[in-house]
Amino acid sequence: MKVAKFGGSSLADSSAVLRVIDIIQSDPSRRVIVVSAPGKRNPDDIKITDQLSNWRTQIHLGHTGNEAMEAVYSRFFEIEKNLGVNIGIHTELLDIEERLKGGASYEYAVSRGEYLNGLLIAEALDFQFKDAADVIRVSNLEPVEHHVFTRPLKMVLKKNNLVIPGFYGQGEDSTIRTFSRGGSDITGALIASALNASEYENWTDVLGMKMVDPRIVPKAVGIPEITFQEMRELSYMGFEVFHEEAMFPVWKSNLPVHIRSTAEPNKLGTLITPNIDRAKRKYDIAGIAGKDGFTSLTFKKRLMNKEVGYVRKLLSVLERHQVSFEHIPGSIDTVSLIVESEKLTAKKDLILEEIDHECSPDSVTESQMAIISIVGIGIVRQVGIAAKIFSALSEAGVNIEMINQGSSELNVIIGVKESDLKKAIKAIYHTFVA
């Protein structure tokens, strides 16, 4: 049994939904379907989730919110009409309108796109609709531990197939709680692992993942197979194909995730699996990700290596200000803290003052940095990988400001000037993929 989740851009209007219905019906093992709200039909369009949010905000501010409301109504009318179903969408919309006027929460409002799309698609497929609010308990805790009530789902599955709206569930107090944006991926992952599915298919409008951001290398080749750990490294550094938080439930239950495209349903996309056979991989690395927006603070102190607890003192200042660090490269008398600039900005002066007071560094230097992560299982132990990266960067005229390799077996981390980020990524990509 497969759980298949379809993203908003694959469900943006009735013709997209009809394509999805064909995909579902072409494989009888696709028995549990998780749907997003209708997304953008073109780059200038507005997602239904955003329209619902606008609608609520307008009502909240004492306006009619008619423009957003009409956008929501017309999109769902179109889908209902052209799917040839009748779920009483008008009554549903009137009910939502009523509740919004009665002060319904933001999370309730933005969850309605998934709810209505779920009702429509269940009807069109003749599958049973199950409201996510009845089967998923959204946790407030960190790290999150959401819960799926499997009994009602298994009962339905004995006789029928299921459609479940993505993106939300019930909170501790039984009100509607949503996941973070793009969170239908999380719903699919939770349901697939709770039901012990054989595979979690995650359908979007792009064909799986590319080895590097196609905005930087337009013809970047695809990644046919990748491990969870590699995927985590890449998504942490900005790969956006699969929600970062959706990784954990499927990873924990070793359940393969297949990222596929509704535009090219016959192609295979990317399979995320617990393990891969490295020998079968065409290239030495799995992918390259990079982001700018980091600050490197370098502290120098003579005989730092002899001073027990120096780094602890530095880190305890960050801890007090609730700032986490990304990397902490060092040498005998120097240590650098690499922190996301956004997290630091407002508190930087105070943090530096406290460090000055408590750690008395001889000097402090600050620079802005971009970080690139070259990811691939086993690359750290493979002879020649670092040499390839460094000569590619040197040929491209990029200076390496920081290197971090070794603590994890599967990535080499490089710091470069923010203005060199794209040039560096291109150079590294071409040295591995040609």
Contact present, 310 and 359 (Cβ < 8 Å): yes
Binding to ligand ASP (CB under 6 A) within 184-203 occurs at 184
- Min separation Cβ 5 and ligand ASP, Å: 8
- Min separation Cβ 362 and ligand ASP, Å: 48
- Asked if 167 touches ligand ASP (CB under 6 A), the answer is yes
- Asked if 169 touches ligand ASP (CB under 6 A), the answer is no
Interacting residue with ligand ASP among 65, 118, 169, 182 (CB under 6 A) = 182
- Min separation Cβ 385 and ligand ASP, Å: 36
Point out which span in 24-32, 175-183, 259-267, 295-303 binds ligand ASP (CB under 6 A).
175-183
- Min separation Cβ 298 and ligand ASP, Å: 39
Maximal CA-CA distance, the chain: 77
- Min separation Cβ 183 and ligand ASP, Å: 5
Identity of the residue, 51 or 373, whose beta carbon is nearer to ligand ASP in the bound complex: 51
Over the window 113 to 142, marking each residue x when it contacts ligand ASP by CB under 6 A and - when it does not, the resulting string is x-----------------------------
Q: Please give the size of the binding site for ligand ASP, defined by CB under 6 A.
A: 12
Q: What is the 3-state secondary structure (H, E, C) of the chain?
A: CEEEEECHHHHCCHHHHHHHHHHHHCCCCEEEEEECCCCCCCCCCCCHHHHHHHHHHHHHCCCCCHHHHHHHHHHHHHHHHHHCCCCCHHHHHHHHHHHHHCCCCHHHHHHHHHHHHHHHHHHHHCCEECCHHHHEECCCCCCCCCEECHHHHHHHHHHCCEEEECCEEECCCCCEEECCCCCHHHHHHHHHHHCCCCEEEEEECCCCCECCCCCCCCCCCECCEEEHHHHHHHHHCCCCCCCHHHHHHHHHCCCCEEEEECCCCCCCCEEEECCCCHHHCCCCCCEEEEEEEEEEEEEECCCHHHCCCHHHHHHHHHHHCCCCCCECCECCCEEEEEEEHHHHHHHHHHHHHHHHHHHCCCEEEEEEEEEEEEECCCHHHCCCHHHHHHHHHHHCCCCEEEEEECCCCCEEEEEECHHHHHHHHHHHHHHHHC
24 Cβ neighbours under 8 A, 6+ residues apart: 4, 30, 33, 125
Point out which span in 156-164, 178-186, 360-368, 423-431 binds ligand ASP (CB under 6 A).
178-186
Identity of the residue, 46 or 216, whose beta carbon is nearer to ligand ASP in the bound complex: 46
Identity of the residue, 73 or 115, whose beta carbon is nearer to ligand ASP in the bound complex: 115
Identity of the residue, 47 or 260, whose beta carbon is nearer to ligand ASP in the bound complex: 47
Point out which span in 74-82, 145-153, 179-187, 384-392 binds ligand ASP (CB under 6 A).
179-187
Identity of the residue, 144 or 387, whose beta carbon is nearer to ligand ASP in the bound complex: 144
Point out which span in 51-59, 176-184, 193-201, 290-298 binds ligand ASP (CB under 6 A).
176-184
Identity of the residue, 37 or 191, whose beta carbon is nearer to ligand ASP in the bound complex: 37
Binding to ligand ASP (CB under 6 A) within 98-117 occurs at 113
Interacting residue with ligand ASP among 33, 37, 241, 425 (CB under 6 A) = 37
Interacting residue with ligand ASP among 6, 8, 177, 232 (CB under 6 A) = 8
Over the window 46 to 85, marking each residue x when it contacts ligand ASP by CB under 6 A and - when it does not, the resulting string is -x-x------------------------------------
- Min separation Cβ 312 and ligand ASP, Å: 40
Residues that bind ligand ASP (CB under 6 A): 8, 36-37, 47, 49, 113, 166-167, 181-184
